[in-house]
Amino acid sequence: MRPLVDLTRSMTKRTKPLAAAVATLVIGIAAPAVSAETQRGERSITCVNKASGTTWQIKVDYDHGTVDTNPASISDSEIAWRDANDGWLYTLDLKSGKLTVILASSMGGNTYLHRCLLDH
């Protein structure tokens, strides 16, 4: 029969890697939740038509999940919404500032690329 001290040491050696794995998993799950929580309130973003130089602003409301009062899908990496007035689809890449606009039509539609100025 093994002495109690040896048995306790053996169990400790086995549970340390398990505890480390559980801690890593908890941190991995909590990190995205924390970063998503930092996006609160409203934010105005200036966008630029690369061809003409025309600028305009969009208003993102993180608390209500809207862009210019249109329902939006907001994540850490992008914001996507459909404009209720014209039906155009917008996708803003929050890393690069690339704004893709898709106009659907019976003739196949068009895609436009713009740039938004993100002050990270």
pLDDT in tens, 67-118: 999 999 999 999 999 999 989 999 999 999 999 999 988 888 899 999 999 9
Q: How far apart are CA 23 and CA 90, in angstroms?
A: 39
Using the predicted structure, report yes or no on whether residue 1 has a pLDDT greater than 80.
no
Residue 18: per-residue pLDDT: 42
Of 52 and 19, which is predicted with more confidence? 52
Q: How far apart are CA 71 and CA 52, in angstroms?
A: 28
Residue 108: per-residue pLDDT: 83
Q: How many CB atoms lie within 10 A of CB 59?
A: 12
pLDDT in tens, 32-55: 444 445 578 999 999 999 899 999
Residue 104: per-residue pLDDT: 84
pTM exceeds cut of 0.85: no
Using the predicted structure, report yes or no on whether residue 59 has a pLDDT greater than 70.
yes
What three-state secondary structure class fits 61? strand
Domain ranges of the chain: 1-38, 42-117
- Of 19-23, 62-66, 101-105, the poorest mean pLDDT is in 19-23
Q: How far apart are CA 7 and CA 82, in angstroms?
A: 63
Of 31 and 58, which is predicted with more confidence? 58
